[in-house]
A and B are shown apart, each in its own frame.
Chain A
Amino acid sequence: MSPRSFRPVFHLPAFTSRRARDEMDEELRFHLETRAELFRQRGYSAEEAMREALRRFGAVDPATRRLEHSAAHKEKRMRIRHHLRVLRQDVHYALRGIRRAPGFAAAVLVTLALGLGANTAIFSVVRGVLLRPLPYADPAHLVVVWNHWTGWPRTWLSQPEVYDYARDTHTFAGFAAFTTGALNVTGDGGNAERVNVGYMQASLLDVTGVHPIMGRGFTASEDQPNGPRAVLLLQDFWKRRYGGDRSIIGRTIRLDDQPYTVVGILPSDFRLPLEFAGAHAQLFVPLQLGPPNESQRGSHGYNAVARLAPGMTLSGAQRRLDALVTRIKAQHENQYGPEFGATLVSMAEQVRGDVRPVLYVLLGAVSFVLLIACANVASLFLARTESRARELAVRAALGAGRGRLATQLLTESILLALCGGVLGVLLAIWAVHGLAAMDLANLPRLDAISIDGGVLAYTAGVALITGVVFGLGPIMQLSDQAANEMLKQGRGNTGARSRMRLRHVLVALELTLAMVALTGAALMTRSFARLVSVPPGFASDHVLTMRLSPPAAKYATSSSVRAFYAQLLAQVRALPGVERAGAISAIPLTTTIGDWSFTIDGAPKQGSDARTPAADWLVVTGGYFDALHLPILRGRGITAADRLGSEPVVVISEATAQRYFKHTNPVGQRIKLGGSADSVFRTIVGVAGDVRFDGLDKAPRPTMYLPLGQFPATVPDSAGAAARSLGLVIRTQRDPAAMTASVRTLVRRFDADVPVAQVRTLDDIVGRSVSTPRLAMYVLVAFGVLALTLAAVGVYAVMSYVVAQRTGEIGVRVALGARAEDVMRLVIWQSMRPVLLGLAVGTLIAVAGTRAMTSLLYSVKATDPVSFIVAIAALVAVALAATWRPARRAARVDPIEALRVE
């Protein structure tokens, strides 16, 4: 090999472009001068010789510039190619190394795949739920408007309040009220279907900045009571039910048997502001709020979204709204108590506020798992570097610099990390699919979760960092001195003191992290156990529920609706296997309900210090309380005898009694609902037990139960104002789900035009209501177990290694008379030292860290000693188990064998 080709072979430093240009200049000067000199020797004058040299060279100026340029470029390209060649070499080398140690590679890959897979899955959820923008224009300036009073930080607005608030155009650039419900879709040739519907003011699309993908939004006249009936379809519904037929615009479909004209299609990601979790509206119709109606001031049932005026901050808007509410309260002295107010909640907080803590805790836990995985892999790498000490030393002796060796080791670790990342992404895809199938009613924006480019970039980044982090350990060992030592030592023994310390540090670190992860899992498990053991106020076992909606066309009058339920329920009760059956306007834990103000007969007119009494109201048929085993604490429940003509009655809940009849017996008292729909005094005939209607973790709200048979009392029968859509609750003798078919058949025989929807067991409904904490618990427990396993593997690997390294020393001890128990005790004690240290540090970190979980925990303190003890006990047990085998191996060391190896 000619000496001039050394550079590419030995990777001598390549030139910079600057230097390439200078050299080119020098070469040219040399060329021209030498050339001129040659011409002079041929008899040219000095001047002519130079001119001839220049002429031969070509046009000097552009030619030199081109040459300089070409020289610089050449160098750059050569440099890039050089780097690529080095990289290819390193990758090749790394692959060869990995192929030579398949067990090591598999252990690393599995560990990393688990760590990175868990991270990818959680990050994809975080991205979908927290980071992806909401489907509104400029969502940062959107707020949800709530009322609040004692015990209810966020509650509905009444009809006149919507107008009061919307009028403040200095605060709000736009304001739109909305609410939700469900309607039967018919009249388009398809099956009758019950569909979630959003009722919204025409302004809602403008406020949220959403444009129909086809057609138009609602006009002002459509939003007037008795205005033209118009409906907007969600893109998904349009595709599903109408096959995306574009001619649907302008066509008429029937909703609860009323004709509605389809005026537009809304994009598939459109949601009403409170419908990002669970089911959402498929159809939208105008709210038709009508002119302000003072008789409605006490009846709260509307939500509202508003866009802040330009330049208005959330706190500024809140201050203005507070002042406005003070004025409203002054105008309507008797309607509001002092604690009444209005609250603005930013859209992001509204949608994500509840889940943000859960996701942060999961993200934290999953990072810990990854760190443990890194620690494990780092200690695997340490062992591997040592077993390759000779090879590395030889390479160093042959002239490979520390930098080159470091790059090669790093290439290997990054390569493994990236492969682990790829496997992890596969795991995560599987996990996210599982998540989507989990029916998480309370996790918002589930549809926005996917493994996309952003998630992949995140995983690649984390994998890269991971590779660098655990690749650094072995590199730190690569000091020249260490290399020399390696070569001298051959099979290293005691010189590896610092490496041993590093291993022990890794063990301690793993235990620290595992301790935190496990404490989190234990806390969440205990909290969840407490949450699901909260009595909801009824017996959820053996109850089947479903929603029925007799269409208005067929059941136009209130009495026909009442007759429908009375007859149907009688037939249901007669079904074999059915114990009890009743119906209610809203099934607990499936929705929230509005309240209704009332006055108490004979109670003194309220001063400004007390709010008008109000309670959430439900309409029930006879049999409801029995079917749910909902206890009647005083008086009686609602029966079939409570019908028009008999004495108007109402049953109130315990919380209502506590709040408004503290010092008297409510039974026998009379109340009258506000407004004109039910303007009669109703006698309280009973007090029912409280039901946790809004969630197991939510305190029961004051509630009243009105009999379907006599409510509403003061609306003409022909208006058909009786609660039309009711949930059946059927207590069965055996598995309630098994009764589904027979009840469905019965309803179809009874009236085929009545759709049956939301067929679920009550147990299922209760389960769904706690799906988010359950998910959090499952994930945290999974991570805890993973952490425990990884920590055990880590301890086992290190201790096995330590015992193997110290065979000689142990042999000497045994030769000097140490008994097997002594050796075991020694080994176990030595391995437990870093374990205990890690646990101690982990406990401290856990005490500080689990505080972040406080908002997730139900009636368990973040410092719950039981959880900590469980975590410590589990880790100590696992660590002991992991040390057992290495310690036994140590105890069985044959001194003669051991010393011979030495």
Chain B
Amino acid sequence: MPANLPLVKGTLDILILKSLSWGSLHGVEITTWLEDRTGGSLAVEDSALYHALHRMEERGLVAAEWGLTENNRRARYYSVTAAGRRFLTAESAQFLKYAATVSSVLQARTRFA
């Protein structure tokens, strides 16, 4: 197992929104998508995912609806709302800027630029 990276607060939300940005997914699909993209290095319990989904549903960032899987099983599908999309754009821009700033500092080779 790769080393588990602790999740920066709020990051899970934008990761989930990102996973939904191509279309609606159910919970397991979101989990596996995240695992696939991160190589399983994020320390997220599956239950945290659902808490995040609830939170975002309440805030109107995602909408949920029951649908059928390929195997004809009932599953709850989540999708991004317009508000969620705006949120994702804004938050990911900010996160990227933040990450870039932090990494540029951490990768500095001299104390005085």
Contacts and interface: CB of A to CB of B under 8 A. Distances in A.
A38 B46 contact: no
Contacts of A23: 66, 76
Interface string A16-42: 000000011011101100110010000
Contacts of A481: none
Contacts of B26: 30, 34
Contacts of B64: 4
Contact of B54 (A3, A34, A38, A71): A71
B45 A58 contact: yes
A56 B47 CA distance: 8
B48 interface: yes
A820 interface: no
Given A4-B79, A31-B27, A78 B47 contact: no
B31 A2 contact: no
B85 to A, nearest CB: 10
Contact of A57 (B47, B66, B73, B74): B47
A115 B46 CA distance: 63
A66 interface: yes
B28 A78 contact: no
A7 interface: yes
A398 interface: no
A77 B79 contact: no
B50 interface: yes
Interface residues of B, number: 30
Contact of B46 (A4, A7, A58): A58
A719 interface: no
A108 to B, nearest CB: 37
B26 to A, nearest CB: 7
A54 to B, nearest CB: 9
A67 B77 contact: no
Contact of B81 (A2, A24, A34): A2
Contact of B47 (A1, A7, A63): A63
Interface stretch (B6-14, B55-63, B90-98, B100-108): B55-63
Given A27-B27, A57-B45, A58-B45, A67 B60 contact: no
A70 interface: yes
A70 B47 CA distance: 11
Contact of B82 (A1, A30, A34): A1
Contacts of A1: 82
B58 A67 contact: no
B89 interface: no
B46 A57 contact: yes
B60 A8 contact: yes
Q: Name the residue among B27, B54, B57, B66 with the largest chain A CB count within 10 angstroms.
A: B54
A81 to B, nearest CB: 8
A80 to B, nearest CB: 11
Nearest to B24: A4
A331 interface: no
Given A57-B45, A74-B58, A7 B63 contact: yes
Contacts of A31: 27-28, 31, 46, 50
A64 B45 CA distance: 12
A70 B28 contact: no
A30 B45 contact: no
A38 B28 contact: yes
B75 interface: yes
Nearest to B29: A34
B47 A26 contact: no
Contacts of A77: 58
B37 interface: no
B28, B63, B66, B81 — which one has the most chain A CB atoms within 10 A of its CB?
A: B28
Interface string A42-59: 000000000000001110
B32 A30 contact: no
A498 interface: no
A30 B73 contact: yes
Which 4 pairs from chain A and chain B are nearest by CB? Answer: A58-B45, A63-B47, A57-B46, A4-B63
Given A7-B63, A30-B26, A67-B54, 19 more contacts: A2-B24, A3-B65, A4-B24, A4-B77, A5-B79, A8-B63, A23-B66, A26-B76, A30-B28, A30-B75, A31-B27, A31-B46, A34-B75, A56-B46, A63-B47, A64-B47, A70-B51, A74-B57, A78-B57
15 contacts: A2-B63, A4-B63, A4-B77, A5-B79, A5-B82, A26-B74, A30-B26, A30-B73, A34-B69, A35-B31, A38-B32, A56-B31, A56-B45, A70-B51, A74-B58
